[in-house]
Structure 1
Amino acid sequence: MARSRLPSAYAGAVHLVASGISFAYPGRPVLDGVDLRVSDGVRLGVVGENGSGKSTLLRVLAGELKPKAGEVRRRGSLAYVPQELTETAGRTVGDLVAETLADVRALAARLEEAAAAFDHETGDLRQLGGLLAGVEHLAAWDADRRVDVALTRLGAVRDHDRRLDTLSVGQRYRVRLACRLAERADLLLLDEPTNHLDDSGVAYLTESIQSWRGAVVVVTHDRELLDDVVTAMFDLDPAMDGRPALYGQPGYHEYRFAKAQMLARWHQRFRAEQKRAAELAHRLDRSYEGLSDEWRPPKGSQKHRRGTRARIHVKAADRLVEKLEAEAVDVPPPPPALAFPDLPALSAGWDPGDPLVEVRSPHVLAPDGATRLDLPGTRLAVPPSGRLLVTGPNGTGKSTLLAAFAGTLPLARGTRTARDGLRVGVVGQESDAVAPEDARRSAFDAYAAHALALLSRGELDPDHLVPVAALGLLSEEELERPLVELSVGQKRRFDLALALLHAPHLLVLDEPTNHLSVDVMDALTTALLRTSAAVVVATHDRRMRTDLADWPVLDLATVPA
C-alpha cells in the first residue's frame, strides 16, 4: 500500500505519465515498453489475461516497484489499494483511520495557523489562498464523517480498537478501501476492488469512482464495474504489433467489440500470409527440383538453357519468401482456453432420485466458540446435476454454509449426509487449497502431490484423473514455475484445476470469479451451465448472477435465524 504524504491537487491539474515502462521478475519479463497517460477526470480500466502484469503495472505506477526501463511521473497525492494486504502485528483500525486523516488535519492546522498569523497589509494572499483551496479540495471539515460513512457503506469493521491482523482478508481489505476512498486523493489506484464487496459495497464503490475529482486507474475483472465507471480501457494482452492496446471507448461491451474486430483482422491477415507462404514454399520446391534435374531437353538442343531458367526461378522465389518473412505478422500463441472436463453426475449403482448431499439445521462455531452460522429448521439438499445459487450480503454466512455443505467445516449441531464415494471439488474464496510445503514446488508437481493425497484417502479414481495440462488454465511454462511465483490470478486458476482434478460429482464454488480474467470468467460460466455435475455457487459477481438467473436461489438475507 502506498500513499503520498502531502495532498497537492489544488496546485494544478493532476496527471500520471508512464513512458517506456519495462519490468521483469528473475528470469521472467512481465512488462515491456508500456506507455500510459492518465489525465485528471480519466477513469482507466486495466484488463488482460492472468499473469499479463496488471498488478505489477499498478505497483510500478504507485512507486512500489522500480521499472527496469522507463519512468513514471506523478503529480498530486496518491492512494493505492493492492489486492494482497499484510499488516504489522498490533496495528488497529483506529491506527489506519488516524493515518488516513493525518494529512487532512495537518493541512487544516496549517491553514488555521496561517490565518491567525496573517497580516492583512503585508501578508501573501496567494499562499493563504492555496492553503484554503487545498482544505476545500479535501473537504477537511467533513473528513471524519467521510471515513465513518465509507466504513459503514462498505460493511467494514468500525471498531477502532480491533487489530487489523485479527481480521479476515476481506474485512481488512474493506477497511483499507474505505480509508483510501475517504482521502480524496488526486490519483486513485485500485487492484480488484470488488473482490470482497457485496452489492451494497459495490454500489458505494461505483458512486465513489464516478464522482472522483481526480484520476482513477482500476484493475478489475468485474464486467459491470467496467461498464459503469471507466472512460477508457487499457489491455495488456498484446495487439497485432505485440504491444498493449488502449481502447478509447467507454464500457466493457464496447471494448470487447473493438477487440474482437482487431483480433479478426489480425487472424485474417495471419491466415492469408500463411497461405501465401505455403504457395511460395511449393513454388520454391518445384524450382529446386527443376534445378537439380537441370530440366535438360533432348540431346543437341540448347543443353543448359532450361537449367539457367531454373536458377532464375529459384532466386525469384527466394526473394519473394524473404519479402514475405520481413512483412509477416508474428502472432503469439493465444492465451489458453478453458477446456472444462466432462464431469459425472452419478457413480454406478447410485439412485438418481436421492440427493448427493443434504444438510439440516446447520450450526457452525468459530474457534473462539462464537456462532458463525445458525440456520435452525433449514434443509439444504442438492440432487445429481442439481444447481444452487447462494446470495446475501457480507457477514450472512455464505462461505461458512458452503464449507459446511462441502464437508470442510464440522457442524456443532445439525446433520450432513452425503453419498458414499461422493467426490466434491471445492474452490474457496481465497487461495488456500495448496499446503504451505507445496508453495515452492512447481505447479505441475503440486498438482501431482495433491492427486497422490486424494488417492491415498480413497477420494480419487485413477480412471477419472483430469490432467492439469488438458484444462487450458495454465500454460506449459506456468506449470513449470513454483507456485509462489505465480500471480494471484494464476493461483486462482490453479485452485480451479485442483477442484476438477478428481472429476467431482459436486462442485462447491465460493466467489469463483475472484481474480480471474474476464475471458476465463465467461468460459467458466458457460461450463457451469452445461456440466453434468451438480454445482453450488456463492457469488457477488453481478454478471454471473444474471447468467445463472434460472438457478434455484438461497438468499441468506431472507433466511430466519
Structure 2
Amino acid sequence: MTLLRLEQLQLAYGTQVLLNRADLTVEKGERLALVGRNGTGKSTLLKLVAGDIQADDGTIWRAPGLKIGVLAQELPESSGMTIFDMVAQGLPEAGELLSEYQHLINDPDPDMNRMATLQTRLEAIDGWSFHQRIDVVLTRLGLPPEAEMSALSGGWRRRVALARALVSEPDLLLLDEPTNHLDLDTIAWLEEQLLAFNGAVLLITHDRAFLSKLATNILELDRGKLGRYPGVYSEYQERKQHELEVESRENALFDKKLAQEEAWIRQGIKARRTRNEGRVRALEAMRNERSQRRERQGTASLTVDSGERTGKRVVELKGVTQRFGDEVILRNVNLEVMRGDRIGFLGRNGAGKTTLLKILLGELAPTEGSVQLGTNLKVAYFDQLRAGLELEKTVYDNVAQGSDRVSVGGKDRHVMSYLQDFLFTPDRVRQPVKALSGGESNRLLLAKLFTQPANVLVLDEPTNDLDMETLELLEELL
C-alpha cells in the first residue's frame, strides 16, 4: 500500500538547490534510511513530507487520512512545560485537554467546574485511551511525567522527543537522527520498537550499526536527486562507488569532446558555414549541459595541531562527589588520565557523563573531593550544545575572529581555504550559523576548535549529525 508519493520536487534556498526534480514513493512496511552529505537537504526533505514547508514546484501525494509522526533534530520551545505537556503535543486535540487536566489534578486547589468540563470533553473523544497511551510510552522510556523540560539533559530531551513522535501511533514515522544523545540501552529499545512497527519509517541517521539493523532500503540525496538502493549500507557503498567511477569517466569523455568542439568553433569561418549549423547547435547544447552539471563535493580534511606535550599525568580525580540539590550525580569518583590515553565515557542518560567532563575541565567545582590538573594543558572542548558557536554571525566570522588568516598544524592558512577543507562552499561561508544543518554546525565547531593548538581533546557527543565520510575522517584523526 502506497502511503506517500513525491513527484518532480524542486526546492532551492537562494542559489543553493536542495531538490532537483526529486521523486520518491514510500510503501507501508518500508524502513527507508536517508543518507547524504551534511547540508544537502535531508532534514528539509522530512519537513516537506511532514507538510511543515512547501516545495517550489512538484507534487506531494499523501494517502487519505495518513497520520505522520515526526522526530525533529531539535525540540520546539519548552519553557515552563513538563514532560507530560511536551509528549501530549503529539496528540493535537486530545493532548491539549489532557495536559490541562494533568495540571489540574496536581493542583492542591483545582477548579472543579473546569475539571468536570474537561472530563466530559475527554470522554467524548475517547481521551482516556490517549492518556493511557501517553502513560505507556513514558513508562517504556523511563520518563517522569511531572519533570520540568528545562532541567533535562540532552539525552533525556531526546527521549521526550521520541515519546512525542511515538504516542500518536502514526502510519508514517519521520525520524531525524533518532539515536543522538541516547544511551545504548535506549537505542536497543528503539531498534526493537521500529522493527515491530507496522507502518513505514523514513529516517536520517549516521549511526552505521543502527542503520544496518533497520533499513530495508537506502535513499541517497546527492546533488538534488534521490537514489534508492536496496539492501544494507555496505552494499549501497559498493554500488555508489561504482556509479561515481562511471560518472567520472563519462564526464571526462564529455569534457574532452566539448574542448574539441570549442577549439573547432574558434576557427571561425568554417563554423559559420550553413552546413555546420547543426554542429554549432550541438555545441550550444553541450555548453548548456556542462553548465548545469552539479559537481560532487570533495572530501573533508581534518587536521589538528597537537601543540606542546602535556606532562605525564593529565588530570587526576580523588573522591569526587557531585550533588545538585538533594540529587547525587557522582559519588566518590577516582580517575587518573595519563598522556596518550583515549577514554570513552558510557552511561545512561542523566548519569552524569557531561558533568564529569566539566569537572575534568575545571569548569565545575565538585561538591566533595579534589581535582588535580597536569602541566602544559591546552584543551579543545567540543560541547554537545555547540555553545562555542555564535548563531547570528557568519560561518566565516565564527572562525576568523577578526582576522583573514588562521594557523593550523603550524601552517598559515586563509580562512576561506581552511573552511573549504570542512566542505563549506563560498556561498555557505557567508551565511549565518543559524542557517546551517546540525551536521554542518558540528563540522564548523570542529573547524573552530582545530584552529587552536591542543594536546587534550574533550569531545561530548562529537559524532551527532555528522555525515558518514566526516565520521570516518574524525575516527582516523583521533
**Are the equivalent residues in 2 in contact too, given 1:14–1:187 (CA < 8 A)?**
no
| Total equivalences in the alignment | 443
- Change over 3 Å in CA distance of 1:325–1:464 after alignment to 2: closer
Aligned residue in 2 for 1:360: 318
- Change over 3 Å in CA distance of 1:363–1:466 after alignment to 2: farther
- Change over 3 Å in CA distance of 1:399–1:221 after alignment to 2: same
- Residue 278 of structure 1 deviates from its aligned partner by 4.9
Tell me if 1:41 matches 2:29. Answer: yes
SS of 1:416's partner is strand
**Are the equivalent residues in 2 in contact too, given 1:236–1:245 (CA < 8 A)?**
yes
Q: Determine which of 316, 329, 338 is the counterpart of 1:382.
A: 338
Tell me if 1:268 matches 2:268. Answer: no
- Residue 521 of structure 1 deviates from its aligned partner by 0.8
- Change over 3 Å in CA distance of 1:66–1:204 after alignment to 2: same
Tell me if 1:505 matches 2:455. Answer: yes
SS of 1:391's partner is coil
Counting only pairs closer than 5 Å after superposition, residues 125-144 of structure 1 correspond to structure 2 as: none
Counterpart Cα distance in 1 of 2:8 and 2:381: 42
- Change over 3 Å in CA distance of 1:283–1:98 after alignment to 2: closer
Structure number with larger C-alpha Rg: 1
SS of 1:387's partner is coil
SS of 1:66's partner is coil
- Residue 325 of structure 1 deviates from its aligned partner by 4.2
SS of 2:33's partner is strand
TM normalised by structure 2 equals: 0.80
Q: Determine which of 198, 201, 217 is the counterpart of 2:202.
A: 217
Aligned residue in 2 for 1:251: 232
Q: Which amino acid aligns with 1:333?
A: E
- Residue 276 of structure 1 deviates from its aligned partner by 4.3
Tell me if 1:515 matches 2:470. Answer: no
**Are the equivalent residues in 2 in contact too, given 1:451–1:501 (CA < 8 A)?**
no
Could you report, residue by residue, the CA deviation over 1:403-439 in whole angstroms, capped at 9, with x for unpaired residues? 22233333333333334442111112222212xxx32
SS of 1:339's partner is coil
Aligned residue in 2 for 1:372: 329
Aligned residue in 2 for 1:157: 143
Which structure 1 residue ranges, 5 or more long, are not aligned? Answer: 1-12, 106-139, 292-307, 529-561
Could you report, residue by residue, the CA deviation over 1:83-107 in whole angstroms, capped at 9, with x for unpaired residues? 11123433322334555578899xx
RMSD over aligned Cα, in angstroms? 3.7
Counting only pairs closer than 5 Å after superposition, residues 320-469 of structure 1 correspond to structure 2 as: 325=287, 331-344=293-306, 346-347=308-309, 354-366=312-324, 368=325, 370-376=327-333, 378-383=334-339, 385-434=340-389, 438-449=390-401, 468=415, 469=417
- Residue 221 of structure 1 deviates from its aligned partner by 1.3
Counterpart Cα distance in 2 of 1:235 and 1:346: 42
SS of 1:170's partner is helix
Aligned residue in 2 for 1:19: 7
- Change over 3 Å in CA distance of 1:57–1:200 after alignment to 2: same
Aligned residue in 1 for 2:55: 67
Percent identity between matched residues is 29
Q: Which amino acid aligns with 1:230?
A: A
User: Per residue, is there more strand in 1 or in 2?
Assistant: 2
- Change over 3 Å in CA distance of 1:315–1:27 after alignment to 2: closer
- Change over 3 Å in CA distance of 1:185–1:400 after alignment to 2: same
Counterpart Cα distance in 2 of 1:317 and 1:66: 42
Which structure 2 residue ranges, 5 or more long, are not aligned? Answer: 96-126
Aligned residue in 1 for 2:216: 231
**Are the equivalent residues in 1 in contact too, given 2:305–2:408 (CA < 8 A)?**
no
**Are the equivalent residues in 1 in contact too, given 2:69–2:170 (CA < 8 A)?**
yes
Tell me if 1:77 matches 2:77. Answer: no
- Change over 3 Å in CA distance of 1:174–1:467 after alignment to 2: farther
Could you report, residue by residue, the CA deviation over 1:364-406 in whole angstroms, capped at 9, with x for unpaired residues? 344x574332343x122130x4322222222322222222223
Could you report, residue by residue, the CA deviation over 1:285-334 in whole angstroms, capped at 9, with x for unpaired residues? 7x68xx9xxxxxxxxxxxxxxxx99x999999978866754665954333
Counterpart Cα distance in 2 of 1:15 and 1:323: 39
Counterpart Cα distance in 2 of 1:340 and 1:102: 45
Q: Determine which of 50, 72, 84 is the counterpart of 1:94.
A: 84
